Chains A and B, each alone.
Chain A
Amino acid sequence: MAEKKKSGLFRWPVILVILLVYCSPFYILTAISFKPATDLSSCWKFSDSPTLENFQTAIEQGGIFAALLHTLLITFVTVFLLVMVGSLAAYPLARNRSKLNIIIKSFILGIMMVPPLSILVPLYSILVDLGGINQYWGIVMILLTFELPQAIFLYTNFIGSIPAALDEAAAIDGCGPIRTFFYIILPQMKSVTASVIILTGIHCWNDYQFSLYILQSSKMRTVTLAISSFFSQTTSNLNAASAAALLAIFPVCLCFLFLQKYFIKGMVDSAVK
């Protein structure tokens, strides 16, 4: 009993530090966002005369809403394709363990380690040749390729846990591989698909390194691009940039708070082999 009390006393200062560290970025961002540009007081203080001016600037000049829309579109299409291509590719890799397929599987997992920036030069020049610069399909294809190993990894692990007897029963009843996949396997994969959507969706939503090269036109800016151009152009008006950043992280944070359980499950699924 005495031991328990001691650990309880020790616990609260630690938790206080954690709260302080993890709340302060959000606190400061909010405080700055509501500050008039002329208010030069410390960013720990909320302004005496809070204003919405910064949000107005962020929306009008920073084009934050358009950027959110572009990002949503890119993320949606990419994740949809990821689920289709990823689950299809995982099916033979999980079911048919020939030598060739084992090699292909380890090759796909190896791609997860490839740092995209290391092949930036040739990747960019290939996209120029294909005409994929400043095109939504360009960014979708690249995001799809680099998120695919993760999706295939999750799906092969999951399909491995579905009894193969189900496939065999379907085959005896005259189902071809395509129908077996769509009628027997796919309906069982709701939970792992949720994990795939969440994990890869977050990566697509937050992507900067690919969008930076592929979407150079200011009309196609994604959220990260809008924020970075805002910060580099308007050094005089960082309060508006901060408001833009707040608007940009708001949807993700809200989404996370409501779907927390699925986010954490997805993370654990992807990490544990």
Chain B
Amino acid sequence: MKKRARAMNVFYIPAIILFSVFVIYPLCKGIFLSFTNWNGYSQTYKIVGISNYTRMLTDNNVHRAFINTIIYGVGSTILQNLLGLGLALLLNQKFHGRAVVRTLVYLPVMIAPLIMGYIMYFFFRFNNGALNDVIAIFGREAVDWLADGNRGVTILTLVNSLQFVGISMVIYLAGLQGIPDMYYEAAAIDGVKAGQKFRYITLPLLMPAINSSVTINLIGGLKLFDIIMALTSGGPGYDTHSLSTLVNRTYFGSENAGYASAIGLVSFILIMELSNIVVKAMEKKEVDL
């Protein structure tokens, strides 16, 4: 039986080969390239030591992208989970048309984030933008929504959250439906108020759902790329770049492959570390119950 089990291991060799060629090897090569001044296409390059990394310390664009990445990740996670839980609680009640609402909220999850970004462009553009048309009704002057970096980051976080809130909603709905009615019945007999029911029954029993939803949203938000490319391309200036779009810009825009590798590795470490910290913290909560 043991020999048979070992023979079975052959089955994952194709997967391991793919991961080695397209993940592990690039990662190692990326670490090497981050210590060079390679421009991305020439045959020759020099090893420049840690100068790419020291350069990052004083590069304001990298600082901005670093902070933006965290805002995209953490901001989207908070918004999506609060809204998703609210929607799930609402749609867990029985009323006419709830299936329609559920479908509508989940539908944007299907659409390519890039295309969603372009659709949103019609909302936020200055001339003839949908949002400016609305505020014009209230007699307000048109605003160039995407001309300001901070506002741009907020809008991108919001668009990303609203597009993918359906994922959290569905996870929470599944979680809510997994809570046996008898807990609520028992609480009703004891005369427990609605708020307390939520705090002491719903929330603790939803912990596994909260855990998966937070993890998925956090990783998704930290990797944000397509929507930024479609809506602002990182502009104005470098104000709305995430680390992902900055790598792209540094590599293909400024032909600075060595530096781009270094930024890429920093984003890799940031995303891994932040996700790990959050996953660990959430798991602890789950055990505490």
Contact = CB atoms under 8 A, between A and B. Distances in A.
Interface of A: 3, 7-8, 11, 14-15, 18-19, 21-25, 28-29, 32, 40, 42-44, 85-86, 88-89, 91-93, 95-96, 98, 100-101, 104, 107-108, 110-126, 141-142, 144-146, 148, 152, 171, 176-177, 181, 202, 205-209, 223-224, 227-228, 231, 238, 241-242, 245, 248-249, 252-253, 255-257, 260, 263-264, 267-268, 271-273
B119 A25 contact: yes
Interface in B3-17: 4-12, 14-16
B130 A223 contact: no
A126 B24 CA distance: 12
Given A88-B14, A108-B15, A121-B264, A29 B122 contact: yes
Given A43-B128, A89-B14, A120-B251, A253 B244 contact: no
A112 to B, nearest CB: 8
Nearest to B132: A42
Contact of B103 (A15, A145, A260): A260
Interface residues of B, number: 90
Interface stretch (B53-61, B143-151, B179-187, B268-276): B268-276
Contact of B19 (A86, A119, A148, A207): A148
Interface of B: 1, 4-12, 14-16, 18-19, 21-23, 25-27, 29-30, 33, 40, 87, 90, 93, 95, 97, 101, 103-116, 118-123, 128-130, 133-134, 162, 167, 170-171, 174, 194, 208-209, 212-213, 216, 219, 222-223, 225-226, 229-230, 243-245, 247-248, 251, 257, 260-261, 264-265, 267-268, 271-272, 275
A96 B12 CA distance: 12
A121 to B, nearest CB: 5
B229 A121 contact: no
A176 to B, nearest CB: 8
Contacts of A111: 19, 23
Given A44-B130, A104-B16, A122 B113 contact: no
Given A42-B128, A89-B11, A115 B103 contact: no
Given A121-B40, A181-B11, A208-B229, 10 more contacts: A42-B128, A86-B15, A100-B9, A108-B19, A112-B219, A117-B244, A118-B247, A176-B7, A252-B110, A271-B167
A257 B111 CA distance: 13
Contacts of B247: 117-118, 120-121
Contact of A144 (B18, B104, B245): B18
